[in-house]
């Protein structure tokens, strides 16, 4: 944090304390949303933010709770700054808390710059459409929901589902085909348990990615208000590395549901009129201003890719948290409880998952020419099999024609050979596509309506190598 | 002038504001952020800031402009990319700045560019409002017609000769009641006020979109108003982007309101490649983009849609057919809700302000087919299509419901279809168009039996939905043969006709004539197969006829060969689909 002597203004006594809000007589020179010092009687300092200011009063939201604030000895003092993150390339390999202070026992970094944690919107006319395929080594993602650099693609999970293991697998395996470039990982832990946070840190360490990572950790026991700044700090670090150091940055934020709960809590304290299920009406915009920080910019080497993880309350995808997220992100990877029960890892739901940027990232030069065809055909065949599976639960498989039975079996095989894979198994996209072709071999050739004849001749196991 | 007294999010209260007017544009603080006065109380004014208020202080000055919020109209609009306040986003990048700095200034129209103006009137002519006094070839695809602005009429005293002029140089002098008025290539218009016209007509003629399910099943008429509601990922944006790419209109305006930056980048980049089939010119030359993405100031979302519709009306007044799409009107409604909350207004349903419905109407009602003001006599149309993003894909929410009361064509997008990857996900049972009658005449010229074929195909789909329930109980094999055939045929209509991938090289766009032949082919198959079933041939056998995959590959046939190949297909169908 920058403590600029120029801006120290006179202190103001506190008139009222309510929830995490302080009301003071108007603090001269205070800026809207500025970060202020709240000095306690004991001399201890807390930080607060000016959320409503006028000629009469200033309303300050206090970070870290109002305990020990009193009306006699506590004072509010302006710093003349909105929240900033000190940055330099030395943030790589470091761990910070939700206020951007180091918590790894090492000294503070010597900053090159202080960046406003809210960032600035990328001029839409300066953006480059994301298009470079990131190979995660996971068939259900690479084959069916390809991720590209500059995309924001969340994991929608449920309590107890292995989202962390999948995210860790992505971190270990993610690579852009044919390129060895500068990449970095920014990890933001939001209200997760200490164990969860250390699971990720261990994973980074084991893969040797730790020195290319920056972590911002706000665990469940840390102040709620800092949960609001944590993802912004992470994204500010990511932007710094991407736009000033030409790095390809992958940002993992977990668990955004905790972030949204914090937002709801603060909104309630401010007595704002709630929107659906008590979440504030501006939650869409709030989340969007963070997720929109993903992207590519023309003339810049780097990129920011965001994979937020969230747990859907009650596994309900229409709950405001996943719903608003889905309206912002470029698709979603949805985990399926049914697959998880069946023992399928990774339990990635085929129908509900979608990567909207996939089409740009696949095909000749990126993955393989037949990728789109294999994707569409696999999908259609699996959809048909699932429909028949549903019918057969009522009428029994005997009621199906022979052709239908083939599709029914194909759906099972698709789940166990295409979707399911090992947690340490890293499949190339070619391997993934070839598994698709193995499955097509069980279907009638004239049924492969979504594949061009040229590709059938080239890749169908029947013609391969002939 | 005034001073800031309070700041609460996008709402700024200023004192010392006596003399300002509601909707007056003001400049807030040292950075001169743009805001609009929305309420007055004594010497205090309530101002909505269209830019981020972070860092403002109490006591900073507020400067009134004496003007209400207007759009700048004139040559230089086409192919522009604007933010929600009509600042040119490309100009904002000119110094190599890639991020949007608060308070950054940019003109909507280039000031120094010279345009080639050719006068079309002569000294002594009596000019009325809207009279076309000359033309500027703005792009190869759009002739910009310079009109006498509304509110001005009189005798032409002087006009410049054909030549090169900037938008600010006077080009004509009109005497009105003894006063001379200078006209320039540029005019302004307050965004919240509809531009005047002579007469209004019912929407008519088909707005050809190239999307089969729209053009054929639920046609949109020129001058119509439609909405596209759907849950996330159901294809609203892709549908609207397809419309601005392929609609056979003179000019298209795309308003990206509170949505994604990457999507904007995607649509913009696609326009660097797409060419107009007839002239080979870049399609971008007939497009205007307004990009106020979700991370840009929230309150400007409202302005962005009104700027868009004002630009659209201006070109309509020249006698053009304009299409405006807005993605997503829900984000604008949310901005209204946020502002209402800050103003501590009495909230209506789900926190939206009680005037939600009337505000939405004030936007959609500006669509229409009109006789334009002034001579020469001409008609122009403005068609509006708005995306709606209902929370949880639940259409009972206020924005969808209020919109449904206004629009006349509904393209209802369906999450279940999206999950099945059937695109576009326009649900054929839930969508409607009240313009089917208005477009009948248009259709009768290229397909006299359009209405019949459309009706029978829709009926097959309807019956399929009923049979589907039975199938779920008894299985498909237990159905009588003619029902099995109906299911086969319905599936062909869905997969081989209604489904149309925006990413298919050929099928991304389908002319009405071609669409008609495709559906005729499927219905012909149904008829021939029906005769086969009646003569005792099982559907399982019909299903494996080579005609079935041939029909499903109709989409791949290049358009030059299409009619010949379909004629061949029909001959083969006649020969091979015969009863035993
Ligand atoms: N006509 C189409 N053809 C092919 N694919 C489509 C089509 N429409 C939609 N899709 C697919 O669905 C995805 C989502 O579509 P789109 O982005 O238009 O959804 P949306 O309704 O705008 O969602 P949101 O409300 O979240 O913005 C696309 O990325 C694309 O993969
Ligand atoms: Mg969209």
Nearest C-alpha to atom 30 of ligand 1 is from which residue? A356
What pLDDT was estimated at residue A208?
A: 82
Quote the distance between the C-alpha of residue B233 and its chain's center. Answer: 19
Residue A180: which pLDDT band, with cuts at 50, 70 and 90? low
More confident residue, A286 or A175: A286
Pocket test for ligand 1, best of B212, B238, B389 (most atoms within 8 A of CB): B238
Task: Give the CATH number for residue B116.
Answer: 2.40.50.100
Residues B498 and B555 in one domain: yes
How much is the average pLDDT of B480-489? 96
Residue A10: which pLDDT band, with cuts at 50, 70 and 90? low
Task: Report the residue of A285, A348, A376 to disrupt the B interface, i.e. the one with the largest count of B CBs within 10 Å.
Answer: A285
DSSP code of A66?
-
Residue A90: which pLDDT band, with cuts at 50, 70 and 90? very high
Is residue A4 pLDDT above 50, yes or no? no
Q: Indicate which ligand has the atom closest to the C-alpha of A291.
A: 1
Please give the Cα distance from B253 to B155 (Å, whole number): 34
Is residue B532 pLDDT above 50, yes or no? yes
Task: Give the CATH number for residue B32.
Answer: 2.40.30.20
**In this structure, what is the dihedral angle of CA atoms B155, B159, B162, B166, given to the nearest 10 degrees?**
-120
Beta-bridge partners for B388: B229
Residues B179 and B37 in one domain: no
Q: Indicate which ligand has the atom closest to the C-alpha of A353.
A: 1
Domain total in chain B: 4
Q: How many CB pairs under 8 A join A and B?
A: 207
Helix, strand, coil fractions of chain B, as percent rounded to 5: 35, 25, 40
Residues B31 and B117 in one domain: no
How much is the average pLDDT of B441-470? 95
Query: How close is the nearest chain A Cα to the Cα of B218, in Å?
Result: 26
DSSP code of B350?
G
Residues B160 and B211 in one domain: no
Q: How far is the CA of B258 from the centre of ligand 2 (A)?
A: 10
Residues B477 and B332 in one domain: no
ipTM, two decimals, is: 0.92
Q: Residue ranges of the domains in chain A?
A: 9-81, 86-361, 371-459
**Helix axes B512-534 and B481-492, enclosed angle (nearest 10):** 170
Q: By the CB < 8 Å criterion, does A149 face chain B?
A: no
Instruction: For tokens 């349903």, name the residue.
Output: B349
The last residue of one of the domains, among B167, B188, B209, is B188
Q: Indicate which ligand has the atom closest to the C-alpha of B412.
A: 1
Please give the Cα distance from B434 to B520 (Å, whole number): 23
Residues enclosing ligand 1, CB less than 6 A? A 326-327, 356; B 230, 232-238, 389, 423-424, 501-503
Residues B285 and B249 in one domain: yes
Instruction: Name every residue whose Cβ is closer than 8 Å to that of residue A184 and which is 6 or more positions away in sequence.
Output: A92, A212, A213, A214, A238, A241, A247, A248, A249, A250
Query: How close is the nearest chain B Cα to the Cα of A131, in Å?
Result: 10
What pLDDT was estimated at residue A181?
A: 66
Query: Among partner residues B8, B58, B472, which is closest to A391 by beta-carbon distance?
Result: B472
Listed residue (A159, A147, A149, A151) closest to A335, CA to CA: A159
Is residue A3 pLDDT above 50, yes or no? no
- Phi and psi dihedrals of B563, rounded to 5? -65, -40
Q: Which two tokens stand for residue A324?
A: 């608003």
Instruction: For tokens 């997008």, name the residue.
Output: B413
**Residue B570 counted as domain residue:** yes
pLDDT above 70 as % of chain B: 100
Residues B271 and B310 in one domain: yes
In ligand 1, the atom with minimum distance to the C-alpha of B241 is: 18
How much is the average pLDDT of A383-411? 89
How much is the average pLDDT of B355-381? 96
CB A234 within 8 A of CB A98: no
More confident residue, A44 or B501: B501
Please give the Cα distance from A450 to B422 (Å, whole number): 13
Residue A5: which pLDDT band, with cuts at 50, 70 and 90? very low
Please give the Cα distance from A26 to A151 (Å, whole number): 43
How much is the average pLDDT of B505-512? 94
DSSP code of A386?
H
CA distances from A275 to A221, A260, A455, B348 (A): 27, 13, 51, 11
B-chain CB neighbours of A401 within 8 Å are 476-477, 540
Length of chain A as a residue count = 466
Alpha helical stretches, state H, A82-223 = 139-142, 163-173, 194-206
Task: Give the CATH number for residue B513.
Answer: 1.10.1140.10
Listed residue (B201, B74, B199) closest to B149, CA to CA: B74
Instruction: Name every residue whose Cβ is closer than 8 Å to that of residue B95 and which is 6 or more positions away in sequence.
Output: none
How much is the average pLDDT of B400-420? 95
Please give the Cα distance from B287 to B252 (Å, whole number): 5
With 0.90 as the threshold, say if the pTM is over it. Answer: yes
Is residue B202 pLDDT above 70, yes or no? yes
What pLDDT was estimated at residue A1?
A: 37
Residue A452: which pLDDT band, with cuts at 50, 70 and 90? confident
What pLDDT was estimated at residue B350?
A: 87
Listed residue (A20, A24, A33, A44) closest to A80, CA to CA: A33
Query: How close is the nearest chain B Cα to the Cα of A339, in Å?
Result: 17
Q: By the CB < 8 Å criterion, does A453 face chain B?
A: no
B-chain CB neighbours of A125 within 8 Å are 81, 89-90, 92-93, 268, 291
Residues B324 and B471 in one domain: no
Query: How close is the nearest chain B Cα to the Cα of A452, in Å?
Result: 10
The angle formed by the CA atoms of residues B503, B505 and B511, to the nearest 5 degrees, is 100
Q: By the CB < 8 Å criterion, does A385 face chain B?
A: no
Residues B298 and B387 in one domain: yes
CB B229 within 8 A of CB B412: yes
CB B363 within 8 A of CB B385: no
Pairing of the two strands B251-257 and B409-410:
unpaired
> Which CATH number does the domain A9-81 belong to among 2.40.30.20, 2.60.120.10, 3.30.70.580, 2.60.120.260?
2.40.30.20
CB B74 within 8 A of CB B109: yes
Average pLDDT score over chain A: 90
CA distances from A432 to A105, A376, A418, A426, B238 (A): 44, 14, 7, 10, 28
HSE (CB half, 13 Å, CA atoms) of A233? 29
**Number of DSSP helices (H) and strands (E) in chain B, helices first:** 16, 26
Is residue B578 pLDDT above 80, yes or no? yes
Kindly report the three-state secondary structure assignment for every residue of B179-238. EEEEECCCEEEECCCCCCCCEEECCCCECCCCCHHHHHHCCCECCCEEEEECCCCCCHHH
CATH architecture of A86-361: 3-Layer(aba) Sandwich (3.40)
Instruction: Name every residue whose Cβ is closer than 8 Å to that of residue A466 and which is 6 or more positions away in sequence.
Output: none
Please give the Cα distance from B161 to B117 (Å, whole number): 8
Q: Which two tokens stand for residue B212?
A: 């089969």
Q: Indicate which ligand has the atom closest to the C-alpha of B213.
A: 1
Instruction: Name every residue whose Cβ is closer than 8 Å to that of residue A151 and which is 6 or more positions away in sequence.
Output: A130, A294, A305, A306, A330, A331, A355, A357, B262
Task: Give the CATH number for residue B253.
Answer: 3.40.50.300
Instruction: For tokens 């020969």, name the residue.
Output: B575
The last residue of one of the domains, among B377, B407, B434, is B434
Helix (H) / strand (E) containing B379: strand B379-388
CB B5 within 8 A of CB B42: no
Listed residue (A445, A397, A406) closest to B476, CA to CA: A397
Whether residue B294 and residue A289 make contact (CB cut-off 8 A), yes or no, is yes
Residues B179 and B220 in one domain: no
> pLDDT tens digits for B80-138?
999 999 999 999 998 889 999 988 999 999 999 999 999 999 999 999 999 999 999 99
In ligand 1, the atom with minimum distance to the C-alpha of A328 is: 26
Residue A176: which pLDDT band, with cuts at 50, 70 and 90? low
What pLDDT was estimated at residue A7?
A: 39
CB B471 within 8 A of CB A392: no
A-chain CB neighbours of B79 within 8 Å are none
CA-based nearest residue in chain A for residue B349: A275
Average pLDDT score over chain B: 94
A412: how many CB neighbours lie within 10 A of its CB?
12
Beta-bridge partners for B72: B188
CA distances from B32 to B1, B13, B63, B64, B559 (A): 13, 15, 8, 10, 55
Beta-bridge partners for A216: A96, A188
Query: How close is the nearest chain B Cα to the Cα of A332, in Å?
Result: 9
Residues B399 and B425 in one domain: yes
Please give the Cα distance from B150 to B310 (Å, whole number): 13
Helix, strand, coil fractions of chain A, as percent rounded to 5: 40, 25, 40
A-chain CB neighbours of B89 within 8 Å are 123-125
Burial class (CB in 10 A: 0-12, 13-18, 19+), A217: buried
Burial class (CB in 10 A: 0-12, 13-18, 19+), A343: exposed
Q: Which two tokens stand for residue B397?
A: 């929410």
Give the gyration radius of chain B's Cα atoms. Answer: 27
A-chain CB neighbours of B354 within 8 Å are none
What pLDDT was estimated at residue A363?
A: 93
Give the gyration radius of chain A's Cα atoms. Answer: 25
Range of the domain at B296: 199-434
**Residue B79 counted as domain residue:** no
Is residue A364 pLDDT above 70, yes or no? yes
How much is the average pLDDT of A345-353? 96
Residues B122 and B241 in one domain: no
Instruction: Name every residue whose Cβ is closer than 8 Å to that of residue A172 and which is 6 or more positions away in sequence.
Output: A203, A207, A209, A426
A316: how many CB neighbours lie within 10 A of its CB?
13
Whether residue B93 and residue A399 make contact (CB cut-off 8 A), yes or no, is no
**Residue B176 counted as domain residue:** yes
Omega of the bond leading into A255 within 30 degrees of 0 (cis): yes
> pLDDT tens digits for A194-203?
999 999 999 8
- Phi and psi dihedrals of B547, rounded to 5? -65, -30
Pairing of the two strands A57-62 and A45-54:
antiparallel
B-chain CB neighbours of A34 within 8 Å are 55
């Amino acid at each position: 944090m920058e403590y600029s002597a120029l801006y120290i203004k006179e202190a103001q006594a506190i008139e009222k304390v309510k929830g995490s809000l302080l009301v003071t007589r108007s603090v001269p020179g205070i800026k809207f949303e500025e970060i202020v010092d709240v000095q306690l009687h004991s001399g201890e300092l807390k930080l607060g933010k000016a959320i409503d200011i006028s000629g009469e009063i200033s309303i300050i939201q206090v970070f870290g709770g109002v305990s020990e604030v009193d009306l006699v000895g506590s004072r509010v003092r302006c710093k003349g700054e909105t929240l900033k993150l000190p940055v330099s390339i030395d943030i790589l390999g470091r761990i910070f808390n939700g206020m951007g202070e180091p918590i790894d026992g090492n000294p503070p970094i010597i900053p090159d710059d202080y960046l406003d944690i809210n960032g600035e919107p990328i001029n839409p006319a300066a953006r480059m459409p994301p298009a470079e395929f990131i190979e995660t080594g996971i068939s259900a993602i690479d084959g069916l929901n390809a991720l590209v650099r500059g995309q924001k693609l969340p994991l929608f999970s449920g309590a107890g589902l292995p989202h962390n293991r999948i995210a860790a697998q992505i971190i270990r395996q993610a690579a852009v085909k044919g390129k060895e470039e500068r990449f970095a990982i920014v990890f933001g832990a939001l209200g997760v348990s200490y164990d969860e946070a250390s699971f990720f840190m261990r994973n980074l360490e084991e893969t040797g990615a730790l020195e290319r990572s920056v972590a911002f950790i706000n665990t469940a026991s840390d102040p709620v208000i800092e949960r609001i700044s944590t993802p912004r700090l992470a994204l500010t670090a990511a932007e710094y590395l991407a736009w000033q150091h030409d790095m390809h940055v992958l940002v993992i934020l977990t668990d955004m549901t905790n972030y949204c709960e914090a937002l709801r809590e603060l909104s309630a304290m401010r007595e704002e009129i709630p929107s659906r299920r008590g979440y504030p009406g501006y939650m869409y915009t709030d989340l969007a201003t963070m997720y929109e920080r993903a992207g590519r910019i023309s003339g810049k080497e780097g990129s920011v890719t965001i994979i937020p993880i969230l747990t859907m309350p009650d596994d309900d995808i229409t709950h405001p948290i996943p719903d608003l997220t889905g309206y912002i992100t470029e698709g979603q990877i949805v985990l399926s409880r049914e697959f998880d029960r069946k023992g399928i890892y990774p339990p990635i739901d085929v129908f509900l998952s979608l990567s909207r940027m996939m089409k740009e990232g696949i095909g000749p030069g990126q993955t393989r020419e037949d990728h789109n065809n294999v994707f569409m055909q696999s999908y259609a065949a699996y959809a048909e099999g699932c429909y028949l599976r549903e019918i057969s639960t009522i009428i029994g498989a005997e009621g199906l024609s022979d052709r239908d039975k083939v599709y029914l079996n194909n759906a099972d095989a698709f789940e166990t050979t295409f979707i399911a894979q090992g947690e340490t198994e890293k499949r190339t996209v070619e391997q993934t596509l070839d598994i698709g072709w193995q499955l097509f071999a069980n279907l009638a050739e004239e049924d492969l309506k979504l594949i061009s004849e040229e590709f059938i001749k080239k890749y169908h196991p029947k013609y391969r190598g002939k | 002038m005034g001073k800031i007294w309070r700041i609460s999010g996008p709402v700024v209260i200023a004192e010392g504001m006596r003399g300002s007017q509601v909707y007056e544009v003001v400049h807030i603080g040292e950075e001169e952020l743009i805001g609009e006065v929305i309420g007055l109380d004594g010497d205090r004014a309530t101002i909505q800031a269209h830019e981020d208020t972070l860092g403002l202080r109490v006591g900073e000055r507020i400067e009134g402009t004496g003007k209400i919020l207007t759009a700048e109209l004139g040559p230089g609009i086409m192919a522009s990319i604007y933010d929600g306040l009509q600042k040119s986003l490309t100009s904002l990048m000119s110094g190599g700045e890639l991020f949007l700095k608060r308070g950054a200034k940019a003109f909507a129209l280039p000031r120094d560019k010279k345009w080639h103006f050719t006068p079309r009137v002569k000294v002594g002519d009596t000019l009325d409002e809207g009279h076309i006094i000359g033309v500027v070839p703005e792009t190869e695809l759009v002739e910009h017609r310079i009109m006498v602005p509304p509110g001005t009429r009189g005798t032409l005293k002087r006009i410049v000769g054909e030549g090169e002029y900037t938008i600010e140089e006077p080009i004509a002098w009109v005497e009105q009641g003894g006063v001379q008025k200078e006209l320039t290539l540029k005019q302004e218009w307050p965004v919240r006020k509809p531009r005047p016209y002579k007469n209004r007509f019912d929407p008519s003629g088909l707005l050809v979109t190239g999307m089969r399910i729209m053009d054929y099943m639920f046609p949109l008429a020129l001058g119509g108003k439609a909405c596209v509601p759907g849950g996330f990922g159901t294809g609203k944006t892709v549908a609207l982007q397809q419309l601005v790419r392929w609609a056979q209109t003179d000019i298209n305006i795309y308003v990206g309101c509170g949505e994604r930056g990457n999507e904007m980048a995607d649509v913009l980049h696609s326009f660097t490649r797409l060419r107009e089939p007839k002239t080979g010119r870049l399609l971008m030359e007939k497009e205007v983009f307004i990009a106020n993405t979700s991370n840009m100031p929230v309150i400007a979302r409202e302005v962005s849609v009104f700027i868009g519709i004002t630009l659209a009306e201006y070109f309509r007044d020249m006698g053009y057919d304009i299409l405006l799409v807005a993605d997503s009107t829900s984000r604008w409604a949310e901005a209204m809700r946020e502002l209402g909350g800050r103003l501590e207004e009495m909230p209506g349903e789900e926190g939206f302000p009680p005037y939600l419905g009337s505000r939405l109407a004030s936007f959609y009602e500006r669509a229409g087919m009109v006789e334009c003001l002034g001579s020469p006599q001409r008609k122009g149309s403005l068609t509006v299509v708005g995306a709606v993003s209902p929370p949880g894909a639940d259409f009972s929410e206020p924005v969808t419901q209020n919109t449904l009361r206004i629009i006349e064509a509904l393209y209802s997008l369906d999450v279940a279809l999206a999950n099945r990857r059937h695109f576009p996900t326009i649900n054929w049972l839930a969508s409607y168009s009240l313009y089917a009658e208005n477009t009948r005449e248009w259709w009768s010229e290229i397909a006299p039996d359009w209405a019949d074929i459309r009706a029978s195909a829709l009926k097959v789909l309807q019956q399929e939905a009923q049979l589907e329930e039975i199938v779920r109980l008894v299985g498909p094999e237990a159905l009588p043969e003619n029902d099995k055939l109906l299911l086969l045929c319905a599936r062909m209509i869905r997969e081989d006709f209604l489904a149309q991938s925006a990413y298919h090289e050929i099928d991304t766009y389908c002319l009405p004539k071609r669409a008609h032949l495709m559906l005729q082919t499927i219905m012909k198959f149904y008829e021939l197969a029906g005769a086969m079933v009646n003569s005792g041939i099982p559907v399982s056998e019909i299903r494996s006829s080579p005609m079935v995959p041939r029909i499903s590959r109709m989409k791949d046939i290049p358009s030059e060969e299409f009619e010949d190949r379909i004629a061949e297909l029909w001959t083969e169908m006649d020969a091979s689909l015969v009863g035993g």
